[in-house]
Amino acid sequence: MKVLFVLLLTAAAADCQSFHRGRCPQPPVQENFNVTKYMGTWYEIEKLPAMFEKGKCNQATYSLLEDGTVKVRNAELLSNGKISSIEGVATVKNSSQPAILDVSFFKGVPGAPYWVLSTDYHSYALVYSCSDYFGLFHVDFAWILARPRVLTEDVISQLHDKLDAAGVNIKRLLVSDQTGCDVMT
Ligand SMILES: *[C@@H]1O[C@H](CO)[C@@H](O)[C@H](O)[C@H]1NC(C)=O
Ligand SMILES: *[C@@H]1O[C@H](CO)[C@@H](O)[C@H](O)[C@H]1NC(C)=O
């Protein structure tokens, strides 16, 4: 447990401090979330730094599976010109909280929370992921996603306000590079 703790701290430190004291915030999620409308491709506009994303043109494609779970395919363009992708499964754990999903990319490894804080389904989505560790600290990630590769400053600013209200330091957000992505489509 101590080793894990140190590893996580090191990872978090290397990752521009996405770890914080105390427990995860519990921000409100999108009301009446309709997962069907959420399916399809979303492009990453901004994010809290995540170690596991190194390229550009980051995108996520969601598709409903017959058992009601969601297939997730994340893809990005690496600096060597290769497309890197990973597939996972997202599941709603509690049907009365449909905007709270759990995404797992590796069998047997616990999934990560995936909270849809806000979406209009056709232009923007705000996703938050926070994990508690031993009740002592938490590590969080956030993504502003859009259907086209751009989003208006107005909308971005509204989503910043929501993240801010959730206690996220929006100064840590990085703007994603969505230029030169033709090879992705
Ligand atoms: C969810 O969206 C789909 C596609 O637009 C629609 O057919 C379905 O009725 C919606 N479900 C609810 C519960 O509104
Ligand atoms: C599911 O969510 C509802 C509403 O938030 C809550 O009351 C209920 O306890 C949850 N069920 C489980 C199994 O967590």
- The bound ligand whose nearest atom lies closest to the alpha carbon of 93 is 2
Residue 96 Cα, ligand 2 centroid: separation in angstroms?
A: 7
pTM for this structure? Answer: 0.88
| pLDDT tens-digit map of 118-129 | 999 999 999 999
* Residue minimizing CA distance to atom 3 of ligand 2: 96
DSSP summary character for residue 106:
S
CA atoms within 13 Å, Cβ hemisphere of 15: 20
Q: Where are the beta strands (DSSP E) in the chain?
A: 19-21, 40-47, 56-64, 70-77, 83-92, 100-104, 112-119, 124-133, 137-146, 174-175
- The bound ligand whose nearest atom lies closest to the alpha carbon of 34 is 1
Tokens coding 8: 């996580």
| pLDDT tens-digit map of 142-183 | 999 999 999 999 999 999 999 999 988 899 899 999 999 999
Residue 35 Cα, ligand 1 centroid: separation in angstroms?
A: 8
- The bound ligand whose nearest atom lies closest to the alpha carbon of 38 is 1
pLDDT at 2: 47
CATH H-level superfamily of 2-175? Calycin beta-barrel core domain (2.40.128.20)
Instruction: Give residues (CB < 6 A) around ligand 2.
Output: 94, 96-97
By most ligand atoms within 8 Å of CB, the mutation choice from 96, 100, 101, 102 for ligand 2 is 96
